[in-house]
C-alpha cells in the first residue's frame, strides 16, 4: 500500500505506534524532519501486535507473546491427543 493511502486509512494507528515504539511524532513528516522513505522504514519495522498490525489483521496483528502462547497451547493439545489415543489402543 502506498504511503498516502496508508496514512489516510490508518493514520491514527501509525501516529500512536510511532510515538509508542520510536518516540517519533508523525507531524515531523510535515515539519520536514522525517522523510517519506524514513517513515516507511519505521512503519515496516513496527513490531507484531502494533496498533497498525491489529488494524490491518493477519499475522502482524498478534504480538510475539500471543503467537508463542498459541503455539504452546497447540503443542500441548497435540501431545494430549496423542497420549489419549495411545491409551485407547491398549
pLDDT at 47 (0 to 100) = 86
Percent of the chain at pLDDT above 70? Answer: 69
Interatomic CA distance for residues 82 and 29, integer angstroms: 55
**Residue 48: strand, helix, or coil:** coil
65-81 pLDDT, tens digit each: 655 565 667 677 777 76
Interatomic CA distance for residues 60 and 54, integer angstroms: 7
C-beta separation of 3 from 36 below 8 A? yes
23-67 pLDDT, tens digit each: 999 999 999 999 999 999 999 998 888 899 888 876 655 556 655
Q: Whole-model pTM above 0.75? A: no
Amino acid at each position: 500500500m502506498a504511503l498516502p493511502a496508508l496514512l489516510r486509512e490508518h493514520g491514527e494507528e501509525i501516529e500512536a505506534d510511532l510515538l509508542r515504539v520510536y518516540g517519533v511524532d508523525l507531524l515531523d513528516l510535515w515539519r520536514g524532519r522525517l522523510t517519506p522513505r524514513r517513515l516507511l522504514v519505521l512503519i515496516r519495522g513496527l513490531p507484531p501486535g502494533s496498533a497498525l498490525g491489529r488494524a490491518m489483521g493477519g499475522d502482524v496483528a498478534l504480538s510475539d507473546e500471543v503467537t508463542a502462547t498459541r503455539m504452546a497451547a497447540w503443542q500441548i493439545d497435540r501431545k494430549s491427543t496423542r497420549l489419549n489415543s495411545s491409551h485407547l489402543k491398549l
